[in-house]
């Protein structure tokens, strides 16, 4: 058996996978986010470990025999979060998360300190990344910054608690702005720009490599042998790619979770920072990937469901799923409820329902919200194609994949086939379990297979023609209102 641990923003999820790749069971524990000031987003690392232990205890109780057969553990986690540790390897402050927007000024400062930053990293300096967070600490919390002995990423705090080891995999490290993704090594110039050095960094491993074994105390508490290996693991999106078998160049997927991601595997480092495309290492050796990121995706659906006081998301979308038509004059939705990355890189971007009139009701507004996310994905696909990508089919994972209507909308808007999977919602946890298996010596070709196809959605020409002029209006809207957001 193999255990995958996926540390998300809203939940830590554990998944138990058999040697044949079948899912034996899973358990999750909810997490909360603290927002003590505008733009801030934080969590306590100790809460991550407490939630992991609770989920592990429940999974063990429900699947005792299978649990005892665990031989490898893999880790997946939310990217970019700054976990700062003192000399005793204790957290100095709450972790600053990926969706924290306080560091815009530090991003500008980094570019002045390292003018060739884009060439070194292949990525823009964005507030969500890790490096500007440490520069912010240096300026605003100098006493705490002076205590920093190590900086690790969220999932790697779980590794520390499991194994006592400080390590990070290439896919997650690439999201710090301290890594040279082409060389798969730390960049000393970038570290120095934030007042750090290699001594502050964990060692680097590939995601399928062994990073350590269980501490005796953890092994005893969890009822496992201390010989259980813990793989390098992956950032959440790279882990999701492993979970759906997107490990070879040209394969890719869309994830509709809290944020929205479009992910394409490449055979080399292929950056396009000018369009806010992320170019990162994949979690497997000698592989890279391109990625576009929307900060609001399925969370926009949760937001509008609450706003309209619908019973739940399923009830809100029921008329659309049943075939109810909407007018071409329905509102245009800008899905920037938490700022935006690709293609705008604007922490101050704000959401908007443009074109409302008295005839519009729940169904039209719900459609506009789904559509705005799909239009954001269309902008991401255009940026990837600018970087040389060729795309004809994309997998669809995450909570948003449960809506057939939304899947079809993406096919119609993007003009590519959309494939959903049986078990595709397992995402990063399944990918983490697969990495745990690889760390024990299993082969990529045997482990990293695509789950069974649930359905393929082909573009519909008539629906594509409906969306095309609306996408043009969407593209034109943000440039006209972006400066107004700064005055709100």
Range list of β-strands (E), 62-117 = 72-77, 83-85, 95-96
With tokens 């049943």, the residue in question is 322
pLDDT of the residue at 488 = 60
Cite the annotated binding site for substrate by residue number.
79-80
Distance between CA atoms of 249 and 230, rounded to whole angstroms? 26
Burial of 264 (0-12, 13-18, 19+ CB in 10 A): buried
pLDDT of the residue at 325 = 92
Residue 105, token pair as written in the block: 């000024």
Full pLDDT tens readout for the chain, 488 residues: 999 999 999 899 999 999 999 999 999 999 999 999 999 999 999 999 999 999 999 999 999 999 999 999 999 999 999 999 999 999 999 999 998 999 999 999 999 999 999 989 988 898 999 999 999 999 999 999 999 999 999 999 999 999 999 999 999 999 999 999 999 999 999 999 999 999 999 999 999 999 999 999 999 999 999 999 999 999 999 999 999 999 998 899 999 988 899 999 988 898 888 878 889 999 999 999 999 989 999 999 999 999 999 999 999 999 999 999 999 999 999 999 988 888 888 888 999 999 999 999 999 999 999 999 999 999 999 988 887 888 889 999 888 899 999 999 999 999 999 999 886 566 789 999 999 999 999 999 999 998 889 999 999 999 999 999 999 999 999 999 998 876 66
Backbone φ and ψ of 286, nearest 5°: 60, 35
Are 410 and 396 spatial neighbours (Cβ–Cβ below 8 Å)?
Answer: yes
Distance between CA atoms of 298 and 425, rounded to whole angstroms? 13
pLDDT of the residue at 420 = 93
CATH topology of domain 2-237: Nucleotidyltransferase; domain 5 (3.30.420)
pLDDT of the residue at 124 = 87
Distance between CA atoms of 341 and 365, rounded to whole angstroms? 24
Range list of β-strands (E), 154-256 = 167-169, 179-180, 185-186, 203-205, 210-213, 229-231, 234-235, 252-256
pLDDT of the residue at 85 = 98
pLDDT of the residue at 422 = 84
> Angle at Cα 471 formed by Cα 469 and Cα 472, nearest 5°?
65
Give CA 420 to chain center in angstroms. Answer: 18
pLDDT of the residue at 451 = 86
Distance between CA atoms of 338 and 296, rounded to whole angstroms? 7
Q: In this structure, how many other beta carbons lie within 10 angstroms of the beta carbon of residue 139?
A: 13
Give CA 251 to chain center in angstroms. Answer: 17
Backbone φ and ψ of 66, nearest 5°: -65, -40
Residue 448, token pair as written in the block: 């990293």
Are 429 and 13 spatial neighbours (Cβ–Cβ below 8 Å)?
Answer: yes
Give the 3-state DSSP-derived string for 135-146, with helices as H, strands as E and coil as C.
HHHHHHCHHHHH
As beta bridge partners, residue 84 has 151
Instruction: Give the chain's end-to-end CA distance (angstroms, integer).
Output: 53
Question: Going by C-beta distance under 8 Å and a sequence separation of 6 or more, which residues neighbour residue 41?
Answer: 33, 34, 35, 96, 97, 98, 99, 100, 101
pLDDT of the residue at 225 = 96
Catalytic site includes residue 86: no
- Four-CA torsion 403, 404, 410, 412, nearest 10 degrees: -150
Distance between CA atoms of 284 and 280, rounded to whole angstroms? 12
Cite the annotated binding site by residue number.
79-80
Give CA 31 to chain center in angstroms. Answer: 16
* Candidates 236, 357, 460, 483; catalytic one: 236
> Angle at Cα 212 formed by Cα 241 and Cα 67, nearest 5°?
70
């Amino acid at each position: 058996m193999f255990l995958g641990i996926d540390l998300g923003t809203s939940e830590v999820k554990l998944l138990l996978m058999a040697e044949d790749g079948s899912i034996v069971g899973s358990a999750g524990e909810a997490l909360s986010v603290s927002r003590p000031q505008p733009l801030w987003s934080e969590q306590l690392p100790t809460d991550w470990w407490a939630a992991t232990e609770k989920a592990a205890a429940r999974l063990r109780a429900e699947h005792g025999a299978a649990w005892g057969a665990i031989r490898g553990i893999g880790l997946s986690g939310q990217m970019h979060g700054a976990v700062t540790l003192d000399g005793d390897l204790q957290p100095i402050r709450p972790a600053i998360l990926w969706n924290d927007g306080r560091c815009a000024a530090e991003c500008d400062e980094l570019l002045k300190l390292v003018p060739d930053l884009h060439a070194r990293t292949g990525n823009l300096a964005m507030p969500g990344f890790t490096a500007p967070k440490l520069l912010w600490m240096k300026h605003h919390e100098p006493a705490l910054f002076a205590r920093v002995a190590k900086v690790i990423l969220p999932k790697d705090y779980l590794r520390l608690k499991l194994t006592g080891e400080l390590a990070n995999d290439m896919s997650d490290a690439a999201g710090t702005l301290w890594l040279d993704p082409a060389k798969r090594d730390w960049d000393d110039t970038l570290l120095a720009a934030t007042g750090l050095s290699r001594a502050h960094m964990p060692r680097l491993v590939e995601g399928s490599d062994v990073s350590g074994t269980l501490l005796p105390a953890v092994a005893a508490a969890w009822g496992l042998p201390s010989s259980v290996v813990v793989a390098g693991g992956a950032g959440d999106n790279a882990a999701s790619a492993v979970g759906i078998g997107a490990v070879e160049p040209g394969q890719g997927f869309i994830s509709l979770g809290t944020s929205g991601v479009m992910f394409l595997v490449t055979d080399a480092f292929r950056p396009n920072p000018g369009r806010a495309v992320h170019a990162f290492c994949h979690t497997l050796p000698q592989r890279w990937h391109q990625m576009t990121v929307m900060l609001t995706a399925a969370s926009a659906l949760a937001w509008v469901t609450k706003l309209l006081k619908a019973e739940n998301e399923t009830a809100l979308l029921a008329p659309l799923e049943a075939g109810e038509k909407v007018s071409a004059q329905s509102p245009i939705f800008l899905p920037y409820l938490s700022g935006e990355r690709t293609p705008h890189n604007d922490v101050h971007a704000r959401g908007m329902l443009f074109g409302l009139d008295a005839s519009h009701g729940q169904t039209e507004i719900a459609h506009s919200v789904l559509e705005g996310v799909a239009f954001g994905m269309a902008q991401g696909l255009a940026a990837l194609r600018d970087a040389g990508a060729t795309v004809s089919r994309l997998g669809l994972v995450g909570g948003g994949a449960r809506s057939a209507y939304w899947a079809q909308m993406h096919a119609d808007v993007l003009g590519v086939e959309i494939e959903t999977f049986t078990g595709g919602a397992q995402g990063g946890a399944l990918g983490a379990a697969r990495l745990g298996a690889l760390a024990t010596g299993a082969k990529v070709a045997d482990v990293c297979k695509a789950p069974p196809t649930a359905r393929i959605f082909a573009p519909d020409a008539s629906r594509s023609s409906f969306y095309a002029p609306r996408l043009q209006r969407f593209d034109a809207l943000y440039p006209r209102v972006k400066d107004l957001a700064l005055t709100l």
